[in-house]
Amino acid sequence: MSIDLKTVKHISKLARISIDDEKANKLKGDLNNIFEFIEKLNELNTDNVQALTSIAETTLRFRKDEIKSENIREKILKNSPEENKDFFVVPKVVE
């Protein structure tokens, strides 16, 4: 199976990364090389194998439902690229 240019552009759209045609062509080559290498897994029959979903054999812990109120608004906004009082600012979404 090989990945064509249309698929590369579709993935880039899904990944929200804009790419020009030159980059897309380069990526097409790289991705095909990498997937050729990955296809090796098809040699294995895994019909009766259970997927490994967690390597740490523990169940997630519960914690007490406590209010830990700490005013961290300033901390959270400190690194924002553009701020306006207490909000993150983005380009206009609603016309």
Partner 1 sequence: MSDITSQSLFELTSNIKEKKLSSGEITKAFIDRAEKSKKLNIYVTDNFEKAIDQSKKFDSNPNFDLKLPGIPIAVKDLFCTNGVRTTAGSKILNNFVPTYESTVTQNLWSQGAILLGKLNCDEFAMGSSNETSFFGNVQNPVGENLVPGGSSGGSSAAVAANLTPVTIGTDTGGSIRQPASFTGTVGLKPTYGSCSRYGIVAFASSLDQAGPMTKNVRDCSMLLEVISSFDQKDSTSIDYKRNNYSKELSKDIKGKKIGIPKEYRVDNMPDEIEQLWKNGISYAKDCGAEIIDISLPHTNYALPTYYIVAPAEASSNLARYDGVKYGFRSPGQNLIEMYEKTRSEGFGDEVKRRIMIGTYVLSSGYYDAYYLKAQKVRQLIKKDFDDAFSKVDAILTPSTPSSAFKIGEKTNDPVSMYLNDIFTVPINLAGLPGISIPAGKDKNNYPLGLQVIGKPFDEQNILNISYALEDKINFKNDISDWWLSE
| 74: nearest Cα among 65, 83, 64, 63 | 83
Site size for partner 1 (CB under 8 A): 50
- 61 binding partner 1? (CB under 8 A): yes
Map the footprint of partner 1 across residues 19-48, applying CB under 8 A.
Answer: 19, 27, 30-31, 33-34, 37-44, 46
The interaxial angle of helices 21-38 and 5-14, nearest 10 deg, is 100
- 68 binding partner 1? (CB under 8 A): no
**Least separation in angstroms between CB 52 and partner 1:** 4
Q: 88 φ, ψ to 5°?
A: -85, 135
Question: In this complex, which beta carbon is closest to partner 1, that of residue 17 or of residue 25?
Answer: 17
Amino acid at residue number 74: E
